[in-house]
Amino acid sequence: MRYDSIEEIKRDIAKLDEQLEQVRAERAAKGLPVEYPADFVPPAIAWHLYERCEPVYQFTIKYANLCNRANEIIELSDDQVEWLLSFERYAELTSFVTGRSGIKILGSAYRGIIGALTNLSKYESVIELLRGLQINLSFITGDFSRPRLNSYIWGDDSEEYRSKVHREYKRLKEDEQAFDAELKRLNEHYESIEGELATWRN
């Protein structure tokens, strides 16, 4: 969409605000939460969780190439589906990263990939499947090179903020017990809001 004036942008924003208020009113009338659950995963551990999804990226590249060569959707075994789902929580938590961080996009991309590969029956053609996979893979692949932590933490422009995130990332990498304890805390919080999330996604 192309805008020719600031006024057009303002009008569209006003329309979106109206739509959001309508959604909130409808949810309130049904007794549902009117605000989407707040982000709660610190950037340092979110990056660790994103990195743990790397096997899914490698698998998807190979799978997409095979489907493209065969020109058909290749069914996955139950074991392969179960393996993919074992990464689902990592992707989910990564998408709840706090701050204005590009890491959220990476988590959402992995959620999209895992959702597609574990629900192949919803695709009518291999082209439809591959198009969706390619869109999500492009976020992970990056424009010129694979994502790096420093370029994905723009929640604060200060060097002090970026250094703090890097220090915490290194601490969690070197202290497995600290990482496990933090992951346990995040999983417990996620499970406490899972029912609320379902009301937004169903």
The domain locations on the chain are 1-36, 38-189
Closest CA to 94 of 153, 154, 141, 45: 45
Report d(CA 120, CA 73) in Å as an integer.
8
- Counting Cα atoms < 13 Å in the Cβ hemisphere of 25 gives 6
The string of pLDDT tens digits covering residues 49-78 is 999 999 999 999 999 999 999 999 999 999
Q: Do 93 and 190 touch, CB atoms closer than 8 A?
A: yes
**pLDDT tens by residue, 111-154:** 999 999 999 999 999 999 999 999 999 999 877 778 888 777 75
Structure tokens at 43: 């950037």
| Whether the predicted pLDDT of 191 surpasses 60 | yes
Orientation angle between helical segments 159-174 and 43-52, nearest 10 degrees: 50
- Cα gap 123→76, rounded to integer Å: 14
